[in-house]
Structure 1
Amino acid sequence: MDFIDENFNYTTQKLLGDITLSGINYQYGYGKNVLNNVSTTIKVGEKLAIVGMSGSGKSTLVKMLVKFFDPTSGELEFNGYPSNSISKSSLRSYINYVPQIPYIFSGTIEENLKLGGREGVTLKDINRACEVAMIKNDIENMPLGINTKLDENASILSEGQKQRITIARALLSPAKVLIFDESTSSLDTITEKKIIEQLIGMKDKTIIFVVHRLSIAKKAARILVLDSGEIVEEGSHSELLAKKGYYYKLLKA
């Protein structure tokens, strides 16, 4: 199920292309590098998983793609445009980062879904996004449906429901690249599996999953394996299993 945005503007359109990282290094202050000589190309429409132990640099790497951090050294380009030539607002219209801890504000469910959404979002668009995120039935069962008011803690929602609302919100954004950083961690495995399968089936989106659960990673076309800030392996699930290297050890751990 693809989401076509007819209002995708030229400023963001020119970024539509491969994302290239060349010799990326990053360090906090004067500490040791968190990322070491990271080089890879993320193709348009690719479904990529990034895995590794806690502290391996996974989240730092993807946050760099939305300018939460700038590389200490190395080159980061979007369709050939250096990241330092692109404004944060343009980049964050092109790439939507969904963190593990969902952000919900005081307002209706509809207002929360439309936060940062593209222009002209219709009820049909909302329903489609909620179906993919598997939150549509939950919303319909609430007292006022989509008009149900949430407090700033969304206390009437479970953590899993909050995560699914933020996934639907990302699908309603103008972004062509979606980053899910442990964004399904509070979901049961069956719901998570169904959502991941639908996201992977979207041909018009580049999707990056940062995961601990390797059951998600194996569904991606390509997997980057990080250890101590370095890409130590990359390939498909079957290719990495055949190598019986670091990824194989993570899977068997």
Structure 2
Amino acid sequence: MSGSGKTTLAKLLIGFYEIQEQCGNIQINQHNINDISRKVLRQYINYIPQEPFIFSGTVLDNLLLGSRPNLTQETIDQACSFAEIKADIEKLSQGYYTKLSESGSDLSGGQKQRLSIARALLYPAKCLIFDESTSSLDTITEHKIISNLMDMKGKTIIFIAHRLNIAAQTDKVIVLDKGTVVEQGSHQQLLNLNGYYTRLINRQG
């Protein structure tokens, strides 16, 4: 639900806000997040917002922003395939070398989001936080991307979403209401509770 504190929690995880001691703490691998430098934290966690950052440059330039050096074409192709954007890129006049305008105004909202997801997959982070990062996609494409992400090994994937079809594909669901965790468990476990989560599912139809 809007205003429940999902994005605020994500920003706490990436060190955007300082956590006051009296308010509790967040730990990553038994380390208090306040004791981890912001630089190290943001190397470990990659935050992908709803509105992607696209700059004036080629598709490839945008994909490689912040990525590790010396990526192979195969690795880039794989990330784009996972993000369901590879076929779109191949249709562009110069493929990966097609020049994009500032803010990606020559791309659709869904294409920008998928490009941003592919970029995130090329960034060497162990944890990826997708904050409504598929909101402009149709449900079929979204389902494919989520399935691809869930198949990845060695990464923690966190989805922040209103569309609860995403929750059904994840290992664990945490339900927030007004900044409080009200339910948590697998999709099926929460349905069995027949509580807040079930009401949200029924409301979305």
**TM-score between the two structures when normalised by the length of structure 1:** 0.78
The CA distance in 1 between the partners of 2:71 and 2:135, in whole Å, is: 28
Structure 2 partner of 1:140: 90
Moved more, 65-74 or 222-231: 65-74
Structure 1 position 193 matched with structure 2 position 143: yes
Give the match's secondary structure for 2:2: coil
Flag the structure with higher strand content: 1
Q: Which amino acid aligns with 1:142?
A: L
Cα-to-partner distance string for 1:156-205 (whole Å, 9 max, x where unaligned)? 21010000000000000010100000000000111111000010111211
Structure 1 position 243 matched with structure 2 position 196: no
1:119 Cα deviation from its structure 2 partner: 2.4
The CA distance in 2 between the partners of 1:206 and 1:230, in whole Å, is: 22
The CA distance in 1 between the partners of 2:105 and 2:32, in whole Å, is: 42
Give the match's secondary structure for 1:117: coil
Structure 1 position 74 matched with structure 2 position 24: yes
1:153 Cα deviation from its structure 2 partner: 2.2
Query: What runs of 5+ residues in structure 2 fail to find an aligned partner?
Result: none
Give the match's secondary structure for 1:218: helix
Over aligned residues, Cα RMSD in angstroms? Answer: 0.9
How many residue pairs match? The answer is 201
The CA distance in 2 between the partners of 1:241 and 1:78, in whole Å, is: 29
Identity fraction in percent: 56
Moved more, 67-76 or 191-200: 67-76
Structure 1 partner of 2:9: 61
Give the match's secondary structure for 1:214: coil
Give the match's secondary structure for 1:224: strand
* Aligned positions of 1:106-117 closer than 5 A: 106-117=56-67
Runs of 4+ in 1 over 3 A off after TM superposition: none
Give the match's secondary structure for 2:26: strand
1:228 Cα deviation from its structure 2 partner: 1.0
Q: Which amino acid aligns with 1:67?
A: G
Flag the structure with higher helix content: 2
* Aligned positions of 1:40-51 closer than 5 A: none
> 130, 134, 138: which one pairs with 2:80?
130
The CA distance in 1 between the partners of 2:189 and 2:79, in whole Å, is: 33
The CA distance in 1 between the partners of 2:72 and 2:38, in whole Å, is: 27
The CA distance in 1 between the partners of 2:103 and 2:25, in whole Å, is: 39
The CA distance in 2 between the partners of 1:96 and 1:190, in whole Å, is: 25
Structure 1 partner of 2:155: 205
Cα-to-partner distance string for 1:2-54 (whole Å, 9 max, x where unaligned)? xxxxxxxxxxxxxxxxxxxxxxxxxxxxxxxxxxxxxxxxxxxxxxxxxxx10
The CA distance in 1 between the partners of 2:56 and 2:25, in whole Å, is: 40
**TM-score between the two structures when normalised by the length of structure 2:** 0.96
1:86 Cα deviation from its structure 2 partner: 1.4
Structure 1 position 164 matched with structure 2 position 117: no
